[in-house]
Structure 1
Amino acid sequence: MNDETLTMTPGPTAIPEDVRNAMAQPAMNPDVDPEFASYYETLLDKLARVYQTDDEMVILGGEGILGLEAAVTSLVAPGDDVLCLGNGLYGDGFSDFVEMAGGNPVSHSIDYTEGFDADEVAELVGENDFAAATMVHCETPTGLLNDFDEILSTLQDADVLTIVDAVSSLGGTPVPVENIDVCLGGSQKCFSSPPGLTMMSVSDSAWAKVEETEQDSFYTSLEPWHDPDFSFLPYTHLVSNLYALDASLDRILDEGLDSVFARHGEMAELCRARGKKLGLEPFPGTESLCSPTVTAFEIEGQAKEIQRELHDDHDILVATGLGEMADDLLRVGHMGYNAQESRVEGTMDALESVLE
């Protein structure tokens, strides 16, 4: 890939120059440098402002999947019944983590083009004694955004802990963090930072469950991170990645969350309007289910070839679908730094040329 390649994938995204430059700073030693604790606390405060929460923040050294596994490993005890809501690959995949933790996943899987019926979920909650529930806010492989407000309220009323994968939505669209016990994010999506960090907010109720649950792992356990004065972290943190995340957070906070969310919405509308002119429809079919951060166009049996031509002939990198839909969906990431008119227009201009 050359320096001119326009990376319009739904993560990892293109990284702004100031974020890349931040990584080049001399790295302090997080284990012994007395200034690190203060720096880290300030960084977590910025992250909490983007999350819009008063819950405790945790940053783990590892890609976003680490956060999904760590949340389940830390909160699910052997024998716990866990409701796994799935209308996409990642939602369905949560059940695997539950099984690895010794829990009993109760999967409520629906068609990948549909949103959840809050009444159906409420009925499931009323009929079972769930310790926790897992779900995905934005299903990156299909560009579907779930509305969980009513469902989260039902789960909260029933004292069911909630674990939400918001990796592809945090920083790009509002997330109801105030009603989520563990809300997971990733550095390489809307934050437009390098891959390598997973972030999460953890409620008091979630911490209580962590403390009462026997931890049979260290690296994937949240328990060692529950240190209010940051005097000791479980392992040497990825300092250069933290510097990059810090710069990314500054970009978001300087622009203002309302402006950031509006920009993502406008670029999503632009992308899909251009696609419709080319005869392309977004995969979920229903506009209200389409994410402001990624669009998956239906291109049956042609996605990989079009992806190759965009890259080889136009120096633009987009993504295809995953799993059974690998060659049927072409995904354009308009998240973070990529949610700019020039980048979206350039991508769609090239797509128009390839299709013609």
Structure 2
Amino acid sequence: MTQRDELLMTPGPTAVPPDVLDAMARPPVNPDVQAEFSPFYRDLLDKLARVYDTDDDVLVLSGEGMLGLEASVASLVAPGDEVLCLANGIFGEGFADFVEMQDGDPVVHDAPADAGFDPEAVKELVEDRDFAVATMVHCETPTGVLNDLGEVLGVLQDAGVLTVVDAVSSLGGTPVPTDRIDVCLGASQKCFSSPAGLTTLSVSDAAWSKVEETEQNSFYASLEPWRDADIPEDAPPHLPYTHAVSNLYALDASLDRLLDEGLGEVYDRHEAVAAQCRERGRDLGLEPFAESDALCSPTVTAFRTESRAGELQERLADDRGVVVATGLGDLADDVLRVGHMGYNADPDRVERTMDALADVLD
């Protein structure tokens, strides 16, 4: 079976639509010297702000989504700062590693991997400690758990704690409460269904103030150089470094797809295919990892597989040409993940995937 025949249903990178690939193949301009890059880039940032649904500054960094996680912490955390890391999965826990790299003091608040965060428990924590920043993940991709962050963000906002949210695998597929988030992180290869290589961020005024007062020990993994980026209408922009123009062309086409469809319709489509995937899974005797459907992400479904994930993944790819993902860490062989985000949030693609899984289980 050729690579073209395969159905890529992983939770990022996703399959990339043909028109996005075509956009990426356009001859690139030189953003450092050609004025026509500026209006294109300004328009792209405007589209991105509409997807974020924010009036905050939006940035695009040349680097895979992990760059955004590291850069946000490196930019906001000074030595000795206490940082509350809310964690119910690998990526939530991983924020603590970035905090330690900055000589900050991470306080990890663990929640069950199949459940969300308790706002009352978070409230007790912030009443007793002086946290500079709090980090959390909206959708824990390895377990398919979508955290309801509304109340938690309200508690942190009331306490004056800056918030950093990894929305990499939810942004563009389900509503994100960006109005309560100081730094909201996204990436090109998830719900945008664009090639991997770009990080997106929204940055609040309060976050910029903290960046300015925090000594920066990096250039590339810092937001500070982007604070004064100049994008005139009729001259080349002044950016910290040469941008990944071809990736930007692809991202621009991806944003057009979302906005042309309408974000409400996009979110409804993701909800519908997620329900379809869970229903088919249950028909096959597979239960979602999350403790309730309310916590199941509309962008990725993680099924409990009891030490069979690796075997099922291999047979799906070899026998049926369907590529899915397993879990990570301790759950590597106990979770099988179907990505239905972006271009893959499609009933026919989900049906083919679940038909293939039914055949393999038989």
TM range (shorter): over 0.9
Equivalent residue for 2:308, pick from 302, 310, 313: 302
**Whole-Å Cα distance in 2 between the matches of residues 126 and 347 of structure 1?**
47
2:258 counterpart of 1:252: yes
Structure 1 unmatched runs, 5+: none
2:289 counterpart of 1:283: yes
What letter corresponds to residue 103 of structure 1 in structure 2? G
Question: CA contact under 8 A between 2:230 and 2:239: conserved in structure 1?
Answer: no
Aligned to 1:346: 352
Aligned to 2:131: 130
Displacement after TM superposition at 1:227 (Å):
2.4
Aligned to 1:66: 67
Residue deviations 1:101-160, cap 9 Å, x none? 111001101210121110000010110110000000000000000011011111111111
What secondary structure does 2:165 align onto?
Answer: strand
**Whole-Å Cα distance in 1 between the matches of residues 180 and 111 of structure 2?**
23
Aligned to 1:56: 57
Aligned to 2:84: 83
* Identity across the alignment (%): 67
**Whole-Å Cα distance in 2 between the matches of residues 217 and 310 of structure 1?**
43
* Runs of at least 4 residues off by over 4 Å: none
Alignment coverage as a number of residue pairs: 356
2:163 counterpart of 1:157: no
Structure 2 unmatched runs, 5+: 232-236
What pairs up with 1:1-356 in 2 under 5 angstroms?
Answer: 2-227=3-228, 229-230=230-231, 231-356=237-362
What letter corresponds to residue 222 of structure 2 in structure 1? S
Question: CA contact under 8 A between 2:229 and 2:239: conserved in structure 1?
Answer: no
Question: CA contact under 8 A between 2:288 and 2:302: conserved in structure 1?
Answer: yes
Displacement after TM superposition at 1:228 (Å):
5.2
Greater shift in the superposed pair: 279-288 or 67-76: 279-288
**Whole-Å Cα distance in 1 between the matches of residues 282 and 157 of structure 2?**
40
Displacement after TM superposition at 1:229 (Å):
2.9
What letter corresponds to residue 74 of structure 2 in structure 1? T
What secondary structure does 1:210 align onto?
Answer: helix
**Whole-Å Cα distance in 2 between the matches of residues 229 and 66 of structure 1?**
22
Displacement after TM superposition at 1:47 (Å):
0.3
Residue deviations 1:234-256, cap 9 Å, x none? 11100000000000000000000
What letter corresponds to residue 344 of structure 2 in structure 1? N
What secondary structure does 1:131 align onto?
Answer: strand
TM-score w.r.t. the length of structure 2 is 0.97
**Whole-Å Cα distance in 1 between the matches of residues 28 and 241 of structure 2?**
16
Compute the RMSD of aligned alpha carbons.
0.7
Question: CA contact under 8 A between 2:229 and 2:238: conserved in structure 1?
Answer: no
What secondary structure does 2:253 align onto?
Answer: helix
**Whole-Å Cα distance in 1 between the matches of residues 38 and 79 of structure 2?**
35
Question: CA contact under 8 A between 1:37 and 1:229: conserved in structure 2?
Answer: no
Question: CA contact under 8 A between 2:16 and 2:194: conserved in structure 1?
Answer: yes
